[in-house]
Amino acid sequence: MTNKMNAKLLQITRLGDFYNNMRVLDSKAGEFKVVKNHNAHYLKYGPCPGCFGFFIKKNLNAHMKTCPKGTTCPKGNVINASNALSFNYTNTHPDPKFAKHVLQDMKNDKDKEVLMESQNIQAVGEFLFQKYGVKKPETPRQIMRLLARLLSAARKEMKKKTLLLEELLDPEFFDTVVKIAKNLSGEHDGKFNKEMKNPSTARRVGFAVKKAANVMKGIALRKKDEDACKKFDMFRMLVDMEWGTRINATARASERLHKRQKPKILPLTEDLIALTKYITEEIDRYMKILERTQEHQTWFELSKFVFCKNPAV
């Protein structure tokens, strides 16, 4: 009984520290509480997705082995799940860079109405934008589009026009999500097994819903909604347990099949003649330059063309 009480007390303490640290991160003032102080910068710490205690992020994978709530921790990259929990998304104050570089280019999308009305899809996009930044804005855009397509298809499938993303990410609707993922990827009966026309789409749906579940759990934690946290945890566990067999296995097999069936395009005779002529002319040009002046760069350029003409040299 004592051990159970201690475990419960530890859980309550770490959850309280989590809320405290979220306030500290928001206000950038106050005492930041961690499980073990390594005298590191506070941004190097992150919450464990299981027990909510703050650890050095690089040590989270090791902590999972002894975490009292280890069974609820997501498989794979626990640091990403930790970042999702500590991500502070506010609908009223979105990142201006996110709005400019991501949302601005999505106003003409097919599912723009679903995208713009769903604050939680935008939350997932903004979370990913923090990772990829302005150099790779297409990544969060792709995930947001995929979630919008998923939600739009789910509304038709379930005949619920007002279905929200956080409602869809429920263990009860996991089979529906799997079915829609198969439809989006164009799954059909092949000669021997199931095949997919767009296998990468199916795999990306799995990635997208896991990211969404992580972000939704972070939002639920801030609202102190334990039921929602458990719901997103269970949904994510189903993804970990079944997505690989029900979706990824077929997707990988389809990708291998597509690769084998992809025709190898051989160059035309005219192209080979033109290439040979170009290489010969460049060799002659660099040879003439070397007669006038001998520089390292000229030798280097000449050697490249010589090796192109005679690769066995």
| Residue 2 C-beta-side C-alpha neighbours within 13 Å | 0
Provide the pLDDT for residue 41.
76
Looking at the chain, list the stretches that DSSP marks H as alpha helix, in order from N- to C-terminal side: 2-27, 60-64, 78-86, 96-101, 112-117, 119-132, 138-158, 165-168, 174-184, 199-222, 226-238, 249-261, 269-292, 296-309
Counting beta carbons within 10 angstroms of the beta carbon of residue 268, is it exposed (0 to 12), middle (13 to 18) or buried (19 or more)?
Answer: exposed
10-residue averages of pLDDT along the chain (313 residues): 75 82 75 81 80 84 78 63 63 64 73 76 85 84 89 90 89 93 87 83 90 88 85 91 89 84 79 88 88 84 82 52
Give the separation between CA 206 and CA 131, rounded to whole angstroms.
Answer: 19
Is residue 164 a contact partner of residue 118, using CB atoms and an 8 Å limit?
Answer: yes
- Is pTM beyond 0.75? Reply is no
Structure tokens at 194: 């199931």
| Whether 155 contacts 199, CB under 8 Å | no
CB 57 within 8 A of CB 44: yes
Residues whose CB falls within 8 Å of the CB of residue 174, separated by 6 or more in sequence, listed in order: 235, 238, 239, 242
pLDDT value for 238: 92
Token pair 């961690």 is found at 34
Three-state DSSP class for 54? Answer: strand
pLDDT of residue 177: 93
- State the Rg of the chain over Cα: 27
